[in-house]
Amino acid sequence: MADEPNMTARRSDRWFRDGGMRQFAHRQRAQQMGFDRSEFLGRPVVAILNTWSDLSPCHAHLRERAADVARGITRAGGFAVELPALSLGEVMVKPTTMLYRNMLAMEAEELLRSHPIDAAVLLGGCDKTVPGLLMGAISMGLPAIVVPAGPMLSGHWRGRTLGAGTHTRMYWDEKQAGNVGDDDWVELEGVMTRSPGTCQTMGTASTMTLLAEAMGFTLPGAASIPAMDSAHRRMAYRAGARAVALADGGIAPGAIATERAFGNAAHVLAAIGGSTNAAVHLAALAGRAGVDLPGDLIDAAARRTPLLANLFPAGTHLMADFFRAGGLPALMRRLDDRLDGDAPTVAGGTLADGYRDAECWDDDVIRPLSNPVSDAPPLAQLRGNLAPGGAIMKPTAATPALLEHSGPAIVFDGPADMRARIDDPDLDVTPDSVLVLRGGGPLGGPGMPEWGNLPIPRKLLKRGVRDMLRLSDARMSGTHGGTCVLHVVPESAAGGPLAALRDGDRVTLSLSARRLDVALSDAQIAERLEGHRPPAPPARGFARLYAAHVGQADTGCDFDFLLGAGAPEPAIF
């Protein structure tokens, strides 16, 4: 035992230090892997939870980053162990990664609980991975630091700047309208997503990594660094070293994810013009942390804080420009009077320590409060007789003329029905129609897929129409724009009023009143809902567990049995 550098009592000691037969076996098995006793005995064990896989393009570099993190852990005197976790590549996973976010959260929690681990570094970025990893870490309660995957290289084509997701949909619409040819389409395939890293627009990945930083879960400035920048490797190294310090009584995730952190996240969400998906993930994180969020938290922040980050889809730049302009620290400095700068972070100081001296180097990319990107609120939460439990939209990415709009509904029951009829030349649709897709909620999808950005009917695209009022209980990709009302609660599969809607019913959106209504009385809605039946549960597997336990969007779509934190430590026999 003379080679032990530190005799501090740690969680991992239960596996490695005590004198029983089991502890002998654990040391024996560590040596079986080639680790010398001096590498792990008496050292804090820091887990690197890595969401790398060959089918997660946004995380293609995370094996190398894990090595950088491990370098930092080792140099700081820790013992680095890498554990693979569900990768959840957003575009590849079907029917939707959202079906599996809770699986990743469970996996992260149980990986941390069941192994000899004192602290964790969480490697993720693609949409569901950061919320999933953090949900698990909060519930387990071990100190954890997030290393965001970082945005991919910017896209360019024929002199134009292109963003992943945003321009895929934009050029698809142009192709449907006959303005983009087959050869152009093939060319576009190779120029938009040029490197490992997350979508370089203000999609859900950028939103959630920036919010993780705003809540205090990363080193200052970490979430803005492009994946391929050498600064990203150095940040990973420093995060590893910092995790070693956290392993000995460092701040637990539940002490980071407090009411003040969610308040800060809401203002940053508004200022970055972040994804509507953040509403679901923040609610889920709050559920794990035991924080009771006000129902209008995001709306209230967005009424006060305008859109400052001029990034696609609401603006015109990409994440590399945001980084060059000073990144999140520069933006947060501009929000100083709205933020609780005394909130703690995993870096060891306060949130304000990370942005107090930050400079902004480009006032067009990160606007001053006196010159926001848009006068519209960045996000809005709605209620009404179509959404008694709420709905959300992103007015800055919408068509201003549609923000106060009434029109007849055209109702699609799920994506198959929508695909079968949306381009039918006989579809009775005008630019004033309201396209409705139901059956896209957590139960209906199942998994609440990103179906809410319904395509514009081809016959209207050919007439030059590029936006219509669209309404759904599904979600929408954060990289997409349009006048889309999303996350209607309760969803139609749970018997929400959306299930009562029929073609021709008059639907009204009023952003100014934050209302979403149909011209039906409560009695008419109730009568139409008589005899409504939820869909049959999935036959087997995780989808069946999901359907039995998932909550609605306003509570974060978490499982009822995973709310909160705390479970007994495993017995070691």
Interface residue list for ligand FES (CB under 6 A): 58, 90-91, 126-127, 164, 198-199, 203, 205
Distance CA 564, CA 286 (A): 9
Give the list of residues 6+ apart from residue 378 with CB closer than 8 angstroms, or none: 269, 270, 271, 273, 274, 302, 305, 306, 307, 314, 394, 395, 396
Q: Closest separation between CB of residue 58 and ligand FES, Å?
A: 3
Distance CA 448, CA 455 (A): 17
Q: Closest separation between CB of residue 34 and ligand FES, Å?
A: 34
Quick one: 15 or 171, whose CB is closer to ligand FES? 171
Quick one: 407 or 481, whose CB is closer to ligand FES? 481
Q: Closest separation between CB of residue 120 and ligand FES, Å?
A: 22
8 A C-beta contact, residue 49 and residue 121: yes
Q: Closest separation between CB of residue 71 and ligand FES, Å?
A: 26
Q: Closest separation between CB of residue 126 and ligand FES, Å?
A: 3
Q: Concatenated DSSP letters for 548-565?
A: HHB--GGGTS-BGGG-S-
Quick one: 203 or 221, whose CB is closer to ligand FES? 203
Distance CA 471, CA 387 (A): 11
- Report residue 384 as tokens: 């009404």
**DSSP label at 149?**
-
Quick one: 199 or 500, whose CB is closer to ligand FES? 199
Q: Closest separation between CB of residue 99 and ligand FES, Å?
A: 16
Distance CA 253, CA 370 (A): 35
Quick one: 90 or 467, whose CB is closer to ligand FES? 90
The stretches of 216-360 forming alpha helices (DSSP H) are 230-247, 253-256, 259-272, 277-289, 297-304, 319-324, 327-334, 351-355
Give the list of residues 6+ apart from residue 364 with CB closer than 8 angstroms, or none: 310, 317
Quick one: 58 or 387, whose CB is closer to ligand FES? 58
Quick one: 164 or 500, whose CB is closer to ligand FES? 164
Q: Closest separation between CB of residue 391 and ligand FES, Å?
A: 24
Amino acid at the residue 260: R
Q: Closest separation between CB of residue 511 and ligand FES, Å?
A: 27
Beta bridge partners of 516: 509
- Report residue 300 as tokens: 């209230």
Backbone angles phi, psi at 132, to 5 degrees: -60, -45
Longest CA span, the chain: 83
Quick one: 15 or 52, whose CB is closer to ligand FES? 52
